Amino acid sequence: GRGLGGALVWSVVAMGRKVRPAGGGRCAACVASLLTGVTAIALASTLYLLLVSVSSPSVAGPPTTHPHHGPDEFFSLRGSNITALLHQAARGAFGESSEGEVKAQLGEALRRVEDVETALQAALHRIAAVEQVQEQSPALTSPASSSSSAATTTTNPAASGQVKASPRRLSPRGSAIGPALGKTWPPMWERPHKPEKDAIFGLALGYRLVDFERFVGSLRKTGFDGDIVLATSPELDPKIVEFLKAADCIVYPLFATCADKLKCTLDRWFHLPDEVERHGGDAVSSSPYLPMAIIRHYLYLNWLQNYEPSSFIYVFDFRDTVFQRDPFLDVDRSSDKDLYLFAEHYPFKTIGTCTFNGGWIADCIGGSERDRIYNQSVICSGSILGTRQGLEQFELRLLQEVDSLRCHLNPTSNGFSKAAGVTRGFRGGVESDQGYTNWLYHTGRLRNSGINALLYPRGYGPVNTVGALNGKKHGYPIGPLGSFYHLRDEQGFVLNEDHSRSATVHQWDRFYQELVPFIDKELRCGVACLSRLA
């Protein structure tokens, strides 16, 4: 079935590519060729539906064919749209439209054919993942697969010892984030977690090979031998797969349906036994959708269950983070702190003077809450370190507020920023985890929850978040990290305030032209580099 599906995918694309207008002329034969391609699309659509119906009856929820759309849109709406475009192009080919219109119509039809190709490839990959889950968890079934509740069986991985259960419930309202954590999709290839090791978590969707070589490669180049755990698109370039395997990464496929980055739902990420009947087995929050910046915290919370209390774990933004030294070497394991946060440059950026950070709090919780912490430094949620327990407590507390306040569902006026001359609103509400993080820490709510947190100023500790040093709205003089701030040594490494080399450089891309030659020469590490390290 997958082989036939793949053949149909490529036949559709091959037919579609025949219709690229050559030399600007009209071509009725080309239109006819693409009409043949539409027939192949219809056949491929039928194949897809058949494959899904026979391959995934025991897993809750319909598969998602594309990170932004469901199968109905791709195989009904898209198909009809392609047909309509081809009819328009056909009329143009016989003299009813201008040459430019014909080109545009054929080009758009081709793009939609390529969308269908992407959708079918995703469907085939998803079917393979479903088969893998069924092989590993034959007892896991969906209420939708049986008309009788007595015939429906679910397995609680926490109870059976497959996954460590969280000792706390997230929400007193009993939303889908309340029950013990359930079974996730397996990693994309066999690579077990090392429970006694330290780990670094990240969300790595839509990035290039070079981005993986900078983040993962520079980390392995420091000598770090713990776990690197990532969530990626299910469809990865083979070269990225080769690299991630060489780097000994644990990679989970992230199946999500997104209207945009602010409105996403996870498809069958958690199987929550207590909620499958109420939510169909798919929901991870009481919210109908979540921003990807929030979704990642559900992933982190689940991954934490694989580690011992002695482990320390970082969560990092992916694209703009590189490593110059092992980031765990500077961790004081004898400290009574269980959570470490890292500030952006103060006083260049404060809660009140930054329209984004102040706005996330004002529009989510209220202007009075923003004003309470107006002069506090900005904590970056893209780099957090904790013990297993400390980070788990933080994630639970953060997600409680997300589930309670649900700020991402409310339209925002962004009125907080009128004084700065900024009047645009955020689409779809407050999307950032950073607003919650700053509010919870600076108002003492983390401390009152029993979390013993330490906030490092910029330039101190194992993470150096440099972005605000190149900000333009705060009114301070700015310049290069090296010649102006004197925060680079003779070899080019970025320095802390005490002129030691920073273990981790976050937001390095704000100094892209200055730093990228050094990073790609000294820090970046690809497959060949990794083989030399082994």
Cβ-Cβ contacts under 8 Å for 3 (sequence gap 6 or more): none
Residue 56 in tokens: 């995934």
Per-residue pLDDT of the chain (534 residues; tens, 9 = 90+): 444 444 444 444 444 444 444 444 444 445 455 555 555 555 555 554 444 443 333 333 333 333 333 333 334 334 445 555 555 555 555 555 566 666 666 766 666 665 555 555 545 544 554 454 444 433 322 222 223 323 222 223 223 333 333 333 333 333 334 333 545 678 999 999 999 999 999 999 999 999 999 999 999 999 999 999 999 999 999 999 999 999 999 999 988 777 766 677 776 554 444 444 444 444 445 566 788 888 899 899 999 999 999 999 999 999 999 999 999 999 999 999 999 999 999 999 999 988 888 888 888 888 899 999 999 999 999 999 999 999 999 999 999 998 888 887 766 554 443 434 334 434 445 667 999 999 999 999 999 999 999 999 999 999 999 999 998 777 789 999 999 999 999 999 999 999 999 999 999 999 999 999 999 999 999 999 999 998
Classify 495 as helix, strand or coil.
Answer: strand
25 token code pair: 């002329």
Enumerate the CATH 1.20.120 domain ranges in the chain, comma separated.
2-136
Q: Which of 134, 135, 151, 133 is nearest to 143 (CA)?
A: 151
At residue 464's C-alpha, the angle toward residues 463 and 465, to 5°, is 110
C-alpha to C-alpha distances, 233 to 50, 58, 122, 125, 291, nearest whole angstrom: 24, 23, 10, 11, 16
CATH code: domain 199-533 is 3.90.550.10
For tokens 């680079």, the residue is: 488
pLDDT at 325: 99
Q: What pLDDT score does 152 carry? A: 26
pLDDT of residue 314: 99
Distance CA 205, CA 211 (A): 11
Return the CATH number of the domain spanning residue range 2-136: 1.20.120
The 3-class secondary structure across 430-468, one letter per residue, is CCCHHHHHHHHHHCCHHHHCCCCEEEECCCCCCEEECHH
Q: How many CA atoms lie within 13 A of 475 on its CB side?
A: 5
Q: Where in the chain is the domain with CATH 3.90.550.10?
A: 199-533
Here the tokens at position 296 are: 């990642």
**Per-residue pLDDT at 431:** 66
Q: Which residues pair with 253 in a beta bridge?
A: 232
- What is the SS3 assignment for 6? helix
Give residue 238's pLDDT. 97
Residue indicated by tokens 């009075």: 368
Cβ contacts of 151 within 8 Å, gap of 6 or more: none
**For residues 455 and 451, what is the distance between their CA atoms, to the nearest angstrom?**
12
CA 166 and chain centroid, separation: 23
Take residue 532 and report the two structure tokens written for it. 């030399």
